[in-house]
Amino acid sequence: MEVDVNGQSTGLVVNEDLINRCKEVSKGFPERSAKYDREASFPVENFEELRDAGLYGIMVPKEFGGFGADFLTYTKCIEQIGKADSSTGLTFNMHNITVGSLSELDSEINAIGGSRGRVMGQFREWMYNQAIVEKKLFASAVSEPGIGAHFSKLKTTYRKVDGGFIINGTKWFVSMAGYADYYVVAARNEKSSPEDPSLSYLVVEKENPGITIDRVWDTLGMRATTSDTMHLKDVFVPTERLFLGSEGMVLYKITREPHWLVGGFTGVYLGISSAAFEFMVDYLSKKKIPGTDTPMSTDSRIQQRVGELAVQLGAARSATYEAARLIVEQRGSLEANTAIHRAKFLCGELGPHLTSMAIRTCGGTTIARRLPLEKLYRDSRCGGLMPATSDECLMYVGKAALGIDMTKTSETYW
């Protein structure tokens, strides 16, 4: 049973069995991590194990054959996966951004009647079937060159044609590019104005002949996410692959409920910091003070530094779990939205600091690539750049503190 910051029961029951399943499945990830990073190759074996464990349906409701994780349980699950391998955690989160955001709308979909409710229900069942039965991966294709994930400025367009839509544009930072089975592409109606963009999600199959991918991903960190550039040229998408059968919903939805595009990353980067901290503790407990048989962990200065990092990690973890709990209980509220931005900032900034201090504390040996701290440091540097960036998180929290109406699209960074 979860408790709040005052120690009172929240009534939420976290699925500890599912968290342990994720921890168990990811046990083999660390030993492959260096190879994927060195080659900048997709972690195929890791995803085979996630698939075989049925975790592609981690967010799918139980009545549809999934595990039915809520956002709090999911955050703790993705923390375990990100702790085992950063790139696997980040890319698996991209799958769940799409499936998870759909699962949260189940009650709303069930309440809608008529033809619209039927269309939404059919899309939901198709997507759940692809994740659960067909074991297919979904990727999010939002960011664009020079624009990033600022939805209101996206240039990729679509137009209606008989039987569906035609998409044209370029996406970059498309995690799992060439490996995901489907890409959920954010695009604007070509008839919409820049001042009032009508943005929609359209699901594109991997084999669509209008897709080309530039293999350009060669980066400081998160090298195994294969977040390459995707070009879409006259890509046809059938009507039934319009996300939930609804046009123009994207900007409205993420303004009011931004947690998936912000908070999923938080658990991953919390996992990176956790992995670095645990390595540091183990290393200092075994490494001897030069010229002695005494472990470095007995040095009072070392203890103080480890204590300081433990406090910072604990604060980030508490903030992350509290934000996830608020999303379950008060999804879309200002309190929940502010909390998830606060947690994203804390985790995004903690990672580089904690990993840097861990290297400094443990000594020069730990910059060797045969040890995990060097990679964890590089991967953690990416956290503050992922949406929402650290600066955007601060802007959101600041505006909320100043009483600015954050339900207005014009006030968001999107």
End-to-end CA distance of the chain: 35
Going by the DSSP 8-state scheme, the letter that residue 274 receives in this structure is: H
Judged by average pLDDT, the poorest of 37-46, 101-110, 344-353 is: 101-110
Looking at residue 9, what is its pLDDT? 45
% of the chain at pLDDT higher than 90: 88
Going by the DSSP 8-state scheme, the letter that residue 371 receives in this structure is: S
The angle at the Cα of 138, spanning 133 to 142, to the nearest 5 degrees, equals 160
At 148, list the tokens: 């990033």
What is the C-alpha to C-alpha distance for residues 262 and 75, in angstroms, rounded to an integer? 12
Q: Confidence class of residue 48 from pLDDT cuts 50, 70 and 90?
A: very high
What is the C-alpha to C-alpha distance for residues 220 and 342, in angstroms, rounded to an integer? 25
Cis peptide before 388 (omega within 30 of 0): yes
The DSSP line for 204-242 is EETT-TTEEEE-----SS-GGG--EEEEEEEEEEEGGGB
On average, the pLDDT of the chain sits at 94
Domain extents in the chain: 16-136, 139-252, 257-411
Q: State the residue for tokens 């977040």.
A: 227
Q: Confidence class of residue 194 from pLDDT cuts 50, 70 and 90?
A: confident
CATH 3.40.50.2300 fits 16-136, yes or no: no
Q: Which residues contact 374 (CB under 8 A, 6 or more apart)?
A: 359, 366, 367, 368
pLDDT in tens, 256-297: 999 999 988 999 999 999 999 999 999 999 999 999 999 999
Looking at residue 11, what is its pLDDT? 63
Looking at residue 265, what is its pLDDT? 93
Pairing of strands 164-174, 211-214: unpaired
pLDDT in tens, 225-247: 999 999 999 999 999 999 999 89
Q: Domain 139-252: give its CATH code.
A: 2.40.110.10
- The count of other CB atoms within 10 Å of the CB of residue 85 is 29
What is the C-alpha to C-alpha distance for residues 114 and 67, in angstroms, rounded to an integer? 29
Q: Which residues contact 190 (CB under 8 A, 6 or more apart)?
A: 157, 158, 159
Query: Does pLDDT of 26 surpass 60?
Result: yes
Contact 100, 92 (CB under 8 A): no
The amino acid present at 261, given as its one-letter code, is: L
Buried-exposed string 124-152: b where 16+ CB fall within 10 A, e elsewhere: beebbebbbeebbbbbbbbbbeebbbbbb
Instruction: Kindly state the average pLDDT of the residues 59-81.
Output: 97
pLDDT in tens, 203-225: 999 999 999 999 999 999 999 99
Looking at residue 311, what is its pLDDT? 98
- The count of other CB atoms within 10 Å of the CB of residue 51 is 16
Looking at residue 249, what is its pLDDT? 84
Q: Do domains 139-252 and 257-411 have the same CATH topology?
A: no
Q: Which helix (H) or strand (E) holds 164?
A: strand 164-174
Query: Does pLDDT of 7 surpass 80?
Result: no
Q: State the residue for tokens 């929940």.
A: 336
Looking at residue 336, what is its pLDDT? 98
**Which superfamily does 257-411 belong to?**
Butyryl-CoA Dehydrogenase, subunit A, domain 3 (1.20.140.10)
Looking at residue 12, what is its pLDDT? 83
Q: Confidence class of residue 90 from pLDDT cuts 50, 70 and 90?
A: very high
How would you class 320 by CB atoms within 10 Å of its CB: exposed for 0-12, middle for 13-18, buried for 19 or more?
A: buried
Going by the DSSP 8-state scheme, the letter that residue 389 receives in this structure is: P
